[in-house]
A and B are shown apart, each in its own frame.
Chain A
């Protein structure tokens, strides 16, 4: 099975900062990578699919990129509404797999 190594596990940043979360795939997954945001007590929300495509309604401050087997989610101009847990997810091969999650807090 494909493993997704996500880092960091948690981070703290300030209002207006730019942050980057990374997932490393254990084997080639092409662009079959999505990112989800999860607020406390809520279900995950799709943010990015196909590694770089912004889901409808997601602010353009969010972006996804790929460099080889490394996939990144970048959030510009960080706001309090961006706090939560972020999950990456590969859907190239069955079974789909998620990263361990990154908890993002604002200072």
Chain B
């Protein structure tokens, strides 16, 4: 069955960076894009961007350009998101999600909580 496993919670200091992973299983990894979504205050969802898992090509929501960097390791079926120059506003739960052939998100990872605090 399709599964997306994400790395554990992160506690980071302002100005630092974190790198979150999303390991896929149960399907052909390179046949589907992986997207990343931010959730703050347990309710609102914000789209960060996607990575073409076959080519490594990326597309970012303008708001997250310079903040998020998406990469992929096809050999381990893992997608990564690095968040840089962290501020308290980056504290959130970050989800990876598989983008279906129809562009909606059919499977989601369990989320990774990032807390930015001095």
Contact = CB atoms under 8 A, between A and B. Distances in A.
Interface residues of A, number: 24
A55 B102 CA distance: 12
B109 A98 contact: no
A55 B106 contact: yes
A96 B60 CA distance: 11
| SS class, residues of chain A in contact with chain B | loop
B29 interface: no
B63 to A, nearest CB: 8
A49 B102 contact: yes
Contact of A43 (B44, B95, B103): B95
Interface of B: 35, 42-47, 49, 59, 61-62, 95, 100, 102-111
19 contacts: A34-B104, A34-B105, A43-B108, A46-B104, A49-B100, A50-B102, A85-B42, A89-B45, A89-B104, A89-B105, A91-B102, A94-B59, A95-B61, A96-B47, A97-B47, A98-B45, A98-B46, A100-B44, A101-B45
Given A44-B45, A55-B106, A98-B45, 15 more contacts: A32-B103, A42-B110, A43-B109, A43-B111, A49-B102, A50-B104, A89-B45, A94-B59, A95-B49, A96-B35, A98-B46, A100-B43, A100-B44, A101-B45, A103-B43
Interface of A: 32, 34, 36, 40, 42-46, 49-50, 55, 85, 87, 89, 91, 94-98, 100-101, 103
